[in-house]
Chain A
C-alpha cells in the first residue's frame, strides 16, 4: 500500500523541478548579457487584462452585494446539479421520491425566502 505512494514521489520531484528550474534560469541569466532592461515604461507597467487596454487601477472597491448574488447563484447552481439525477429517475422513484425531491427543494426555498426577506436581492437598501 505504502509503496504506491512512490508515484506521488515522482510527481513531487517534477513539482520541485519547475520552481528550481525557473529560479536557476533567472540566476544563470545574470551572467549572460541579455538581461531584460529594468527601465519602466507605460506598456510594461500596464495591467495585463486579456490584451485590452485597462482603464483605471486594478484595485477598486466593488459593491459587496455582488457577494450576495454570487452566493445565491452557487446555491441555485448546486440545487440544479442535484436535481438532474432526480429528474432522470423521476418515473421510477414514485411518490416517495417526489416527496423527497420536494423536501430538498423546500430546504432551498427556506434559504430563498430568508434571502428575499433580508433584502439580499435588492440592489439598493
Chain B
C-alpha cells in the first residue's frame, strides 16, 4: 500500500486548511464559504478513513512510525467529528469577531491533523512532533479573542505547555537512553529483555511522561491552567481544548503505556500512579466545580474530574489475560461518549451566552421558558456528564467502573461513584436553574442554524447511543483489540 494512503485523512484536512487560506486571501468577499470548505475537508477525511474499514490488515508505514490500525481509525473518526462540530459552533463567533477568519479555520484544521497524527504515531519522535503540531495552533487559538482575558489564556497555555513539553522530552530522552530506540514495540522488547536493571530510571521516565501528558489530559496536579484558559479562551476553542486535546492525549498515552511500557514489573507501578492521580482528579475537580459561578470555569473543573474518570481505565491495566484490553476499550468508549456530551454542553453554552451576553450560571435562570429546545438539549448533556441513563455518559461510566472492579480497584471505583454523586449536584443545579429559575426577561430566542446543527448532532448522539450503546461499545472494543496480548 502506498505510504500516502496512510496519512490520507491528515492530508485531506491539511489541504483543506491550505484551501481555506487561499480562498480567504484571493476571494475575500466569499468569506462565508470558509467554514464550508473546512467541513468538506473533514468529510473527505472521514470518507478516506471509511475506505479502510473492513480491510482488517494492519499497516505500519514510514518505517513503522505511523500505524494504520483499528485504533487510529477509531480516533480519526472521533477527531473529524469533534473538529466538524467545533467549526459549526465557531461560525457565528468568527463572523462577529471579523478579523482573521481564514486563519481561524486553517488553525483549527491544523490542530485536527496534529491530533490525527498523534493517534496514529507509534514512535516517540513522531509523537512529539504530532503533539507540537496540534499544540502550537491551540496556543494561538486560545489567545484569539480581543480581550485581555483571552491573551492571558493564550500566554498561560503557551508557557505551561512549553514546560510540559520539556518534561515530556526529558522522559522520552531517558527512555531512549535506556532502550536505545524510539519505536514503541522495540522499546517494549528492550524493556522486557533487560529493563529490570534500570527499573528506578524507568519509573522516573514514566513519571516525566505522565507529567508531560498530564498537562494535556488536564489531570491533578497539572490542572492549574484549565479554569483560566477555558474561561479566557473563546468558547468554541475552549470546547476544542476540553475534548480534542484531551482525547488525543489519552490516545497517545494508551499507546505508549499499553504498547511500549507494558512490562509487568513496570505496569504495576504506573497503574498505581494513574490510580492515585485518578482519585485526586475526580475529587479535586468536582469539589472545585461546586463553588464556581461562571459556567465555563465550572465546565473546566468538570473536565478535570472527567479526566479522572478516564484514568480509571489506565489504572485498570493489571488485569491479565483476555481482559487486558478492558481498560483501554473503556477509555475509548468514554472518549467517544465524552466527545458527544461535552461538545453538546459547550455548544449549548455558546448558544445561550451569545444571546444573554453572560457566562454566569445565575443568568441561565428560566432558560426553559425562553428557549425550550436549547434548554432541553443542554440538560441532556449535563445529565450525560453526570452519568444518568438514558444517556451515553451512563454507559461510559458503567463500563469504566466495570474495568476498575475487574482490576481489583474497588477503592478507586468507590471514590468514582461518590464523586458522581457530587458531580450530579453541580451539573443538575445548572439544569435546575434553567427549568425552575425565574427569568429576568422572557423574550424567546432560537439558536442560529449552524449552532443548532452542532448541538443537534451532539445531543442526538448522546441520546441515541444512550439507548443503543452497542455500536459504540463494539467499535471501542475492536479498536482496543490491537493491545491484546
A81-125, CB under 8 A of B: which get 1 and which 0?
Answer: 000000000000000000000000001001001101110000000
For residue B25, CB closer than 8 A to chain A, the reply is yes
| Residue in contact with A110 in the complex, picked from B22, B179, B201, CB distance below 8 Å | B22
Say whether, besides A1-B177, A1-B180, A117 and B201 are in contact (CB < 8 Å): no
| Residue in contact with B26 in the complex, picked from A2, A107, A117, CB distance below 8 Å | A117
Q: Which residues in chain B, 18-37, are within 8 Å of chain A measured between CB atoms?
A: 18, 21-22, 25-26
For residue A64, CB closer than 8 A to chain B, the reply is no
Q: A2–B198 Cα gap in the complex (Å)?
A: 9
Task: Name the interface size band of chain A.
Answer: 10 to 19
For residue B378, CB closer than 8 A to chain A, the reply is no
Q: A116–B22 Cα gap in the complex (Å)?
A: 11
For residue B178, CB closer than 8 A to chain A, the reply is yes
Among B25, B179, B180: residue with most chain A CB under 10 A: B25
Whether A2 and B18, one on each chain, are in contact in the complex, defined by CB atoms closer than 8 angstroms, is: no
Whether B25 and A117, one on each chain, are in contact in the complex, defined by CB atoms closer than 8 angstroms, is: yes
Among A2, A113, A114, A118: residue with most chain B CB under 10 A: A114
| Residue in contact with B178 in the complex, picked from A2, A113, A116, CB distance below 8 Å | A2
Task: Write out the residue numbers on chain A whose beta carbons fall within 8 Å of the beta carbon of B26.
Answer: 113, 117
Task: Write out the residue numbers on chain A whose beta carbons fall within 8 Å of the beta carbon of B178.
Answer: 1-2
Whether A2 and B177, one on each chain, are in contact in the complex, defined by CB atoms closer than 8 angstroms, is: yes
For residue A5, CB closer than 8 A to chain B, the reply is yes
B1-41, CB under 8 A of A: which get 1 and which 0?
Answer: 00000000000000000100110011000000000000000
Size of the chain B interface, CB-CB below 8 angstroms = 11
Task: Write out the residue numbers on chain A whose beta carbons fall within 8 Å of the beta carbon of B25.
Answer: 113-114, 116-118
How many A-B contacts are there with CB distance less than 8 Å?
23
- Residues of A contacting B: mostly: helix
- Residues of B contacting A: mostly: helix
Task: Write out the residue numbers on chain B whose beta carbons fall within 8 Å of the beta carbon of A5.
Answer: 177
Q: A2–B201 Cα gap in the complex (Å)?
A: 10
Task: Write out the residue numbers on chain B whose beta carbons fall within 8 Å of the beta carbon of A110.
Answer: 18, 21-22
**Which chain A residue shows the least CB distance to B194?**
A1
Task: Write out the residue numbers on chain B whose beta carbons fall within 8 Å of the beta carbon of A113.
Answer: 22, 25-26
Task: Write out the residue numbers on chain A whose beta carbons fall within 8 Å of the beta carbon of B201.
Answer: 2
Q: A24–B198 Cα gap in the complex (Å)?
A: 38
Say whether, besides A113-B25, A117-B25, A118-B25, A107 and B180 are in contact (CB < 8 Å): no
Task: Write out the residue numbers on chain A whose beta carbons fall within 8 Å of the beta carbon of B179.
Answer: 1
Q: A116–B21 Cα gap in the complex (Å)?
A: 12
Q: A110–B21 Cα gap in the complex (Å)?
A: 8
Among B22, B178, B180, B198: residue with most chain A CB under 10 A: B22
A98 CB to nearest B CB, Å: 16
A48 CB to nearest B CB, Å: 32
Task: Write out the residue numbers on chain A whose beta carbons fall within 8 Å of the beta carbon of B177.
Answer: 1-2, 5
B253 CB to nearest A CB, Å: 25
Task: Write out the residue numbers on chain B whose beta carbons fall within 8 Å of the beta carbon of A116.
Answer: 25
| Residue in contact with B18 in the complex, picked from A1, A107, A117, CB distance below 8 Å | A107
Q: A117–B18 Cα gap in the complex (Å)?
A: 14
- Chain B residues proximal to chain A, CB less than 8 Å: 18, 21-22, 25-26, 177-180, 198, 201
- Chain A residues proximal to chain B, CB less than 8 Å: 1-2, 5, 107, 110, 113-114, 116-118
* 19 A-B pairs in the complex with CB atoms less than 8 angstroms apart: A1-B177, A1-B178, A1-B179, A1-B180, A2-B177, A2-B198, A107-B18, A110-B18, A110-B21, A113-B22, A113-B25, A113-B26, A114-B21, A114-B22, A114-B25, A116-B25, A117-B25, A117-B26, A118-B25
Known: A2-B201, A110-B22. 4 other contacts (CB 8 A): A107-B18, A110-B18, A114-B25, A116-B25
State the 5 A-B residue pairs at the shortest beta-carbon distance, nearest first. Answer: A117-B25, A110-B18, A114-B21, A114-B25, A118-B25
